[in-house]
């Protein structure tokens, strides 16, 4: 005999099935696309993607492009190594290679070469860098403006003005090299500039051979060295090793600061303008010109310098 199911049971089953289906829907708009630079550009590939989905672009060859990324929820751009060479993206002299706004972007295994900026990451973007080489820009290698960023295994080299500059941003550098920055029309050739309330966490960083300062912490900013995660070495920079000034602070315990020059009033470590640097975990600051650690007259304070190996200093032992 046929069994008749009451209407209210059918409605309940329909609602339940709809709910369960919704739980297991895989967004159809998530995509992985491949860009061969001989045939296409990254800018063109972006036009085919849903910005609110999770997207990956695989890049091979050498692209010539200026790439604007706006309001992408999750975008990965990864270079494919061929013949021992990373994929490269070359920029023109008057435009950035990457301009990232309001997006979550992962750039990996790329050579970003030239451009006015290598990468501008701004307006609450989250930018994740891994295994890239960013070089030969005539503006800044990387600029962070009101953004979060992490760097892991990247090299930032031979850029003008600043290797990396930050404004009101938070970033971490892990096993990163910044070198060869030269003075330009709007910057003195500083390797890493931590500015305007920014925060840098170091987990292995080498800053060397920059025309300006190695690391400049300025404008109510902070640098913290996690020495157990990797060496923090600042050497052979023209205008001092580490500057901590203008109401800024730094825990540079464990850092090695050597061979830095006196340009622009520099020293191995300069502390001035109601600022403080701490050396509780030791460190080696020697062989800098004209002084290894300088405490300025405007309330520059060195905390526990006696615990580090310091050559010449005018800072008293404190704390």
**Amino acid 18: pLDDT:** 52
DSSP 27: P
**96-128: pLDDT as tens digits:** 999 999 999 999 999 999 999 999 999 999 999
Q: How confident is the model at residue 1 (pLDDT cuts 50, 70, 90)?
A: very low
Q: Is position 58 within any domain?
A: no
Contact 288, 319 (CB under 8 A): no
Q: For residue 35, what are the β-bridge partners?
A: 59
Q: Is position 115 within any domain?
A: no
Q: Is position 277 within any domain?
A: yes
- What is the average pLDDT value for the chain, to the nearest integer? 92
Query: What own/partner pairs with CB < 8 Å and gap ≥ 24 does 295-299 have?
Result: 295/271, 296/245, 296/270, 296/271, 296/272, 297/272, 298/272, 298/273, 298/274, 299/272, 299/273, 299/274, 299/275
Strand runs labelled E in 252-299: 256-258, 269-271, 275-278, 284-286, 293-295
Q: Is position 293 within any domain?
A: yes
Q: Is position 84 within any domain?
A: no
Q: Is position 54 within any domain?
A: no
Compute the distance between CA of residue 171 and CA of residue 269 in angstroms, rounded to an integer: 21
Q: Is position 99 within any domain?
A: no
**127-151: pLDDT as tens digits:** 999 999 999 999 999 999 999 999 9
Q: Has this prediction a pTM greater than 0.85?
A: yes
Q: How confident is the model at residue 17 (pLDDT cuts 50, 70, 90)?
A: very low
**38-72: pLDDT as tens digits:** 999 999 999 999 999 999 999 999 999 999 999 99
CA atoms within 13 A on the CB side of 153: 8
Q: Is position 35 within any domain?
A: no
Compute the distance between CA of residue 67 and CA of residue 131 in angstroms, rounded to an integer: 19
Cis peptide before 152 (omega within 30 of 0): no
Q: What are phi and psi of 129, to 5 degrees?
A: -115, 135
Mean pLDDT, rounded, for 156-182: 98
Q: How confident is the model at residue 82 (pLDDT cuts 50, 70, 90)?
A: confident
**254-310: pLDDT as tens digits:** 999 999 999 999 999 999 999 999 999 999 999 999 999 999 999 999 999 999 999
Enclosing domain of residue 302: 160-319
> From residue 95, how far is each of 53, 248, 263 by CA, in Å?
27, 33, 31
**Amino acid 319: pLDDT:** 64
Q: In the chain, how many domains are there? A: 1
């Amino acid at each position: 005999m046929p069994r008749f199911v009451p209407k209210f049971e059918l409605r309940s089953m329909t609602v339940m099935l709809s709910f369960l289906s919704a739980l297991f829907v895989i967004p159809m708009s998530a995509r992985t696309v491949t860009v061969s630079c001989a045939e296409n550009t990254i800018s063109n590939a972006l036009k085919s993607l849903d910005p609110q989905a999770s997207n990956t672009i695989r890049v091979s060859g050498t692209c010539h492009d200026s790439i604007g990324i706006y309001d992408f929820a999750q975008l990965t751009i990864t270079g494919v190594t061929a013949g021992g060479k990373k994929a490269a993206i070359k920029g023109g002299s008057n435009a950035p290679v990457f301009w990232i706004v309001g997006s979550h972007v992962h750039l990996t295994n790329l050579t970003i070469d030239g451009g006015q900026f290598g990468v501008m990451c701004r307006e609450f973007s989250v930018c994740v860098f891994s295994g890239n080489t960013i070089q030969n820009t005539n503006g800044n290698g990387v600029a962070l403006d009101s953004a979060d960023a992490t760097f892991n295994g990247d090299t930032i080299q031979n850029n003008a003005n600043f290797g990396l500059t930050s404004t009101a941003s938070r970033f971490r550098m892990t096993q990163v090299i910044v070198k060869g920055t030269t003075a330009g029309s709007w910057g003195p050739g500083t390797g890493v500039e931590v500015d305007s309330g920014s925060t840098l966490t170091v987990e292995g960083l080498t800053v060397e051979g920059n025309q300006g300062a190695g690391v400049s912490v300025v404008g109510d900013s902070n640098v913290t060295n996690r020495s157990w995660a990797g060496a923090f070495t600042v050497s052979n920079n023209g205008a001092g090793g580490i500057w901590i000034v203008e109401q800024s602070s730094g825990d540079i315990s464990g850092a090695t600061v050597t061979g830095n020059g006196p340009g622009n009033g520099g020293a191995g470590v300069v502390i001035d303008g109601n600022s403080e640097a701490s050396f509780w975990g030791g460190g080696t600051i020697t062989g800098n010109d004209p002084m290894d650690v300088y405490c300025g007259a405007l309330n520059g304070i060195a905390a526990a310098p006696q615990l580090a190996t310091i050559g010449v200093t005018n800072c008293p032992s404190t704390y």
